Amino acid sequence: MSPGRVALLLALLAAVLYGGVALPAATRLAAARAEIQELQGRRDARSAGLMARQRREDALQRAALPAESASVMGVRRGIVKTLDAASLGDATVDVRPGRAPAVATVRVAVSGDFAELVQLAQRLAEPGSGLVFDRVRLTRSQGRMGLEVLAWAVGPR
């Protein structure tokens, strides 16, 4: 067989392989990529919708809080519950009636490890807590860290 015929045969075989394997695979790959993009778009839209619904539910839940949460005792109970969850020692809680728009004036003093104190401050500062910080102070005394928080508890008007 002459080299020209071998070259022609190889070119014909390459054309058949390209047309029978490579083109359909490229088409399927493009379709798969388009489907992935569409699915990612749907996922992003659902995620945004879910986040919006979650924010709405949270807002409705906050709006439906019982009247007790807007009282001095309700504020005190909420702070004590947060402190119990943190399980820190030597805690002092002082909650007094506040001037409008504040329901109460709050002072929390607690001691513990630095990381635990920072986590407690974060929990107290969460939007659902109803506390607006006036002053936060970290202290160190006798090898122990302390946290003092002065805040206002705001409630429904």
Domain endpoint, select from 11, 37, 64: 64
Q: Which domain holds residue 88?
A: 67-154
**48 shares a domain with 83:** no
Q: For position 102, what pLDDT does the model report?
A: 82
Task: Indicate the number of domains in the chain.
Answer: 2
Q: For position 148, what pLDDT does the model report?
A: 93
Q: Model's pTM, two decimal places?
A: 0.52
**116 shares a domain with 137:** yes
- pLDDT band for position 42 (cuts 50, 70, 90): very high
Query: Tell me: the pLDDT tens digits for 86-118?
Result: 877 788 899 998 887 788 899 999 988 888 888
Calculated CA dihedral for residues 76, 80, 81, 83, nearest 10 degrees: 140
**60 shares a domain with 133:** no
Mean pLDDT (the chain, rounded): 84
Tokens of 98: 């506040």
Domain endpoint, select from 32, 64, 96: 64
Strand 131-141 and strand 102-112: the pairing is unpaired
**129 shares a domain with 94:** yes
Query: Tell me: the pLDDT tens digits for 44-84?
Result: 989 888 888 888 887 776 665 555 456 788 888 888 888 88
